[in-house]
A and B are shown apart, each in its own frame.
Chain A
Amino acid sequence: METVNRIIMFVTLLLAQVLILNHIHLFQIATPLLYVYFVVTFSMDTPKWVVLTSSFGLGLLIDIFANTAGMAAGCMTLIAMLQPYLLQFLAPRDAGENMQASAASLGFGKFAFLCSTLVLLYSILFFALESFSFFDWQMWSLRALGSALLTLLMILAIESVRSK
C-alpha cells in the first residue's frame, strides 16, 4: 500500500510540476519546486537505494520536460542522500522503525526544519547550476531564496491539510 502511495505521489508531483508549477514565475522570480516534497517524505525504513534511485528518476523526468538534462537529477540525488540522516537525527527516541516523515509524527517544528533544510539546499544548488553560464549573483540569490520560500509554503500548507 505504501509503495502504491509513493508511486501515485511520484506521478502526481511530476505532472503537477511540468504542467502547472513550471509555468509559475511569481514576480518573474520565484518558481515553486514542489517535487522536492517527494524526497522530504520518505519514511525511515525505506532502503537508501530506493530513496536515491527514485529521487534521481523523478529529477531526470522533470529535466527531460524542462530541457535541463542533469540539473534536477543531480540536486535531487544530493538531497535524497541527506534525507535519511536528517530524519534519523530529528526522530524522537521512541519512534518506530517505520516512522513516516510527516508533521503528524515529527511535530510541526521539526518537520518544518527538515523541509526548510532540504528545500533551501536544493534551490540554492539548482539555481546555481541554472545560472552556470550566466552568472549574476543577485538574480541567483533572489531566485533561489524566492523559490525556496514559495516551495516551503506550499509543502507546509499541504502537510497541514494532510496531518488533520
Chain B
Amino acid sequence: MRNLLDFLKTYHHWFIFILLEIISGVLLFQYNSYHGSVWLSSSNVVVGKIYEWESALLAYTTYGKANEELTLRNYYLERQNDQLRRLYQEAIKDTSALERQELAFLSQFNPIPAKVVDNSVSKPDNLMTIDKGRVDGVETDMGVACGNGVVGVVSLVSDHYAVVVPVLNAGASSISCAIRNTGYFGYLHWYGEDPAVAYVEDVPRHAKFKIGDWVVTSGFSSIFPSGVLVGKIEQAYNSRDGLSYKLKVRLSTDFSCLRDVCVISDKSIAERAALLQAARDSINVINRE
C-alpha cells in the first residue's frame, strides 16, 4: 500500500498528462463535428460578447467598401425591378393584382438581420459567428446571405449567437446551386486557398452555359430560396470521371470584409422540409412492410 502511494506520488503528473490528453482527444473527435457542443464553440455567450466588442471596434475600417458595393447593387436591382414591373404591367394590364401578389410574395420571407462578429478566410475549414441566436428566431440549417450573395448555413445556435458554416469551408459546405435562366444545377464546393473562387460540381454534360453566366442558388434544398446570387462562371473543366462539368466560379460575396448578413427564415421552406420529411417517413414505412 505504501509502495503504491509512493508510486502515485512520484508519477502522478503522468496520470494527469494522460487524462488531459484523453480529454483533448475526445473533444477533438467528438465535438469538432459541426453539431457539437454550443458551450465549447464561439457561439457561447462570453466568447460571443468578446468577439462582438472586437468587431464593433473594427467595423469602421470595412464599412466604406461594403457600403459602396451595396449602393451599386441596390441601384442595379432598382433599375431591374422598375423595368420588370413595366413589362409585367404591359403584359397583364391590371395594377391591383400586381400589388397583391407582391405583398403575398414578400410576406413569405422573414429575413433576420445579423452582424458577423468573428470570421476567417484563411483556414481550410472556416467558420463564422453571428450575433443573432435562438431568441431572435435563428435555427440550425437556416441559410445566411448578404447583400451581394450567398454566405453559408447556420450550424450551431445558442440563445444569442450562432455559428455559420460559410461557403469557404472545404469540409462541410455544399450548397445546391443552378445556372441562372437555364436551371441546370450542381453543388458548390470550395477547396481552400483563394477565398474568392469556388467550384460547382456535377453539372450535366448537356448543360448549356457561357463563361460569364451567373450561378444562383437552386432552391432545391430546404435552406435557400431559389435565385440568391452565388457568383460568375469563370472557367469550365471536365470532371475527373468525365461524366459532368466542373465550373470555376468567382464568388459574388466578398468574405474577407463581411459585416452585415441576414439569416433567411422562409415559411414555405420550412413547409417544404416538413413535406419532404413526411414523404421520406412514408417511404420508410413502405420499405419496412
Contact = CB atoms under 8 A, between A and B. Distances in A.
B124 A70 contact: no
Q: Is the interface of A mostly helix, strand, loop or mixed?
A: helix
A53 B16 contact: yes
B28 A70 contact: yes
Interface string A136-155: 10010000000000000000
B11 to A, nearest CB: 10
Contacts of A133: 125, 171
A64 B45 CA distance: 11
A6 interface: no
A129 interface: yes
Nearest to B126: A67
A133 B17 CA distance: 26
Given A73-B27, A133-B171, A134-B125, A66 B42 contact: yes
Given A65-B47, A134-B125, A73 B24 contact: yes
Given A69-B31, A70-B26, A70-B27, A56 B20 contact: yes
Interface of B: 12-13, 16-17, 20-21, 23-29, 31-32, 36-37, 40-42, 44, 47, 50-51, 54, 120, 122-125, 127, 163, 170-171, 192-193
A74 B24 contact: yes
A48 B13 contact: yes
A49 B32 contact: no
Contact of A69 (B40, B50, B125, B193): B40
Given A64-B41, A134-B125, A134-B170, A69 B21 contact: no
Interface in A56-115: 56, 59-60, 63-71, 73-74, 77-78, 81
A19 interface: yes
A56 B24 contact: yes
B122 A73 contact: no
Return the 6 tightest CB-CB contacts between A and B, nearest first. Answer: A70-B27, A74-B24, A70-B28, A48-B13, A25-B122, A69-B27
B13 A70 contact: no
24 contacts: A18-B50, A19-B50, A19-B54, A22-B120, A25-B122, A52-B16, A52-B17, A60-B27, A63-B27, A63-B40, A65-B42, A67-B41, A67-B42, A70-B29, A70-B31, A70-B32, A71-B24, A71-B32, A74-B20, A77-B20, A77-B21, A81-B13, A136-B192, A139-B192
Contacts of B23: 56, 70, 73
A130 B123 contact: yes
Given A49-B13, A65-B42, A65-B47, A74 B21 contact: yes
B28 A71 contact: yes
Given A134-B171, A134-B192, 8 more contacts: A28-B122, A48-B13, A49-B12, A63-B27, A66-B42, A73-B27, A74-B20, A74-B21
A131 interface: yes
Most central of A56, A70, A77 by chain B CB within 10 Å: A70
Most central of A69, A71, A77, A130 by chain B CB within 10 Å: A69
Contacts of A66: 42
A63 B209 CA distance: 44
B28 A134 contact: no
A69 B36 contact: yes
B32 A68 contact: yes
B59 to A, nearest CB: 14
A142 B44 CA distance: 32
A100 B253 CA distance: 51
A22 B36 CA distance: 22
Contacts of B51: 65
Contacts of A48: 13, 16
